[in-house]
Amino acid sequence: MKRFAKILIASICSFIVFFSVSQAANASYAVIDADTGRLLFGSHVHEQKPIASLTKMWTALIAIENNELSEEVEISRQAALSEGSSIYLEPGEKVTIEELLYGLMLRSGNDAAYALAEHTGGSIEGFADLMNEKARIYGLNNTYFTNPSGLHNDLHLSSAYDTAQMLRIAMQNDTFKKISSTINYKSPSKNGVTWQNKHRLLRQQVGAVSGKTGFTKVAGRTLATYFEQDQEKVIVVTLSESNDWQVHKSLANKVFSEYDYVTIADKGEYKATEDKTVELKKPISILLNKEEEKKLQNVLHLSRKQDEFGIWHVMLNNESIYSTRVDLK
């Protein structure tokens, strides 16, 4: 691994990151580093599109964060009659949050989505407000939700990049990670019927560990996949891509063959000024291809007082692709 230790000193300023978007027809896709969220490559990554049931990744996370898994939900008539894919909930039956989440993520049950939304947000509209609030907190600026399932609505839109970030954020939650990575689950309320995860790549030896499928007539096929190979973790999202299974494998393989984790700076102290040093409390390692390795710079932005802290930026093509606070000594 290459190691970069040279630091450039600069005054505090702001960096706005613009990603180039290759031109392609119809389909859009984004491939991001699952650790840092950095966009590696893609096409029409910020274009707003319907994402169909990829919506349910965000629904699951909101429900997990606002409920206990053991809580029971009484299924309403409206939830049981939800349009589209279903886990066949019955009005009046009681089902735990945990089972509804498995039905949501493995079988893409719109009835499960509706029941979770009603229980968590008080109504579909209330739950959509929770979804949008969290999207704003995470800077998902091309995302807007009107419902918990992804059924078509002209205003219900996201982008390939934002959707990839949704999966990255959700995978930081251990409960979401466990549920979304499950291949088979026996439903307690359905007499032990086994629900198999619709995401077929999880059942293949291709490094896929989590994700979500989606489809509506308007959105076409949508797919999100979290891949791991050795230390490398990558998320692929395709929207309106008919050959999505093969495309996801190909894009993940491209990352695994062309990118490596590079240690930019080791843990330790670095000279910042004549009489000051900064301390990195852990190494900086970033997923990079060989061309990117050649263009990196480390830039240290000191606070105006120059006796408190600094921000260590890793720069690529004059853009900050990683930053961390460092203490001055």
Active-site residue identified among 28, 108, 159, 189: 108
* Those residues with Cβ within 8 angstroms of residue 204's Cβ, 6 or more apart along the chain or in another chain: none
Core vs surface per residue 262-293: b (16+ CB within 10 A) or e: bebbeeeebebeeeeebebeeebbbbbbeebb
The C-alpha atoms of residue 170 and residue 194 are separated, in whole angstroms, by 24
Active site residue 189: no
Is 57 buried (19+), middle (13-18) or exposed (0-12) by CB count in 10 A? buried
Contact 161, 142 (CB under 8 A): yes
Based on its alpha-carbon atoms, the radius of gyration of the chain, rounded to whole angstroms, reads 22
Q: How far apart are the first and last CA of the chain?
A: 28
What pairing do the DSSP bridges indicate for beta strands 208-216 and 193-196? unpaired
Active-site residue identified among 56, 134, 233, 249: 56
Active site residue 149: no
* Those residues with Cβ within 8 angstroms of residue 205's Cβ, 6 or more apart along the chain or in another chain: none
295 is in an annotated binding site: no
Contact 252, 30 (CB under 8 A): no
Active-site residue identified among 53, 85, 210, 285: 53
Active site residue 53: yes
Phi and psi at residue 192, to the nearest 5°: 75, 15
Q: Residue positions in the annotated binding site for substrate?
A: 212
Q: Residue positions in the annotated binding site?
A: 212
Residues designated as active site: 53, 56, 108
